[in-house]
Amino acid sequence: MKITELELKNYRNIAELYLSPCESVNIIYGENAQGKTNILESIFLFTGLKSFRSTKDRELVSFGKNEALIKTAFSTRMREQTAEIKITDRRRAALNGVSLKSPVELMSKFPAALFVPGFMSIIQNGPAERRRFIDSAICQIKPRYAVLLTEYTKLLRQRNAVLKDSDSISEIKLFMECINESFSSLGDEIYRERKAYLSVLLPFIEEIYGGLSSGKENISFSYIRKGDPTLEAPFSDILKRHENTDISARMTLTGIHRDDIDININGVSARSFGSQGQKRSAAIALKLSEAEVIKAKINEDPLILLDDVMSELDTARQDYILNHIRDKQVFITCCDPASILRMGEGKTFNISDGRLI
């Protein structure tokens, strides 16, 4: 897919801005805190996912304004389309002039892979970051997956509330018996989707990380299922085995909300022993691999959104990334476009104080 027009109004520090990007590499450059990342963030919102920087929609609206507006025209393999998002205390979206019940309905219709420096947390932080990565990635190719997560989370909260608040073991066990069939079914389906996604992702990340390291290093990962080292047990059996432990702890200690992905470089834990350079390369490889999975699954090239990705990479890694993404539409932010323009292609946009100059 390709964006042909992007228009922003009252979005963070941007009063009004219009972009007509090219079909290949678009370089958004300028000093820090001028609005470069705001542009990438506005594009990413069309995926139907939440902002990667803010939990409150109101924070996306310019100070002193009541509403922000983002509009885009884009082409997919099938046709020309338009979309818009209006933001007040919440987001309201429309696709081709038709209002949507929720921005979530944009999922899979506007695929994009995003890398920002904070995404190194996928490698170096706790399991929640890796679960968030894989869940967001699956949502872009299977919108129904978001529904599964919502339903699972709802039952998990109910289960934990009963475990925490009830002093009657018989009451707790009766409640568990009532919801365990639905709860375990959702957990099993989410687990299967995650495993299937990782099986498709793995060949891509092996190739891309190998390219980033010039063939000197290899990467691997495995799924860690809390309470089931065999990776084969039905979730209902896991819940039953840990029922008394959950009652004692007053919370649900097993399930897809506790699982992890073990990422290794040259056979050792990237989180524990990887250098900053290795972690950065691994995070970039994950996001570029996400883009390849999107293409493989929905037969549509996603947008590539790269925020300050080049600044701490050597020339060889920069060249590999630019060569790898040259057949897609890319939006890259940086302070100095020279390192990207030396590849001989790209359209530049100079941003200062939220305005094109």
Q: What is the mean pLDDT of the chain?
A: 94
What is the reported pTM? 0.92
1-111+305-357 fold: Rossmann fold (3.40.50)
pLDDT of residue 294: 96
Which of 48, 41, 56 minimizes the C-alpha distance to 11?
Answer: 41
Could you read off the pLDDT of 288-308 as tens digits, one per residue? 999 999 999 999 999 999 999
121-299 fold: Glutathione S-transferase Yfyf (Class Pi); Chain A, domain 2 (1.20.1050)
Structural domain spans, the chain: 1-111+305-357, 121-299
Could you read off the pLDDT of 165-224 as tens digits, one per residue? 999 999 999 999 999 999 999 999 999 999 999 999 999 999 999 999 999 999 999 999
Mean pLDDT of 255-275: 96
Residue 149: CB atoms within 10 Å: 20
CA dihedral sign of residues 223, 229, 235, 238: negative
Tell me the β-bridge partners of 26.
331, 347
Residues in contact with 276: Cβ distance below 8 Å, sequence separation at least 6, in sequence order? 120
Is the distance from CB of 292 to CB of 211 less than 8 angstroms? no
For the sheet containing 2-11, what is the strand order?
14-19, 2-11, 68-75, 80-87, 91-95, 98-99
pLDDT at 343 over 70: no
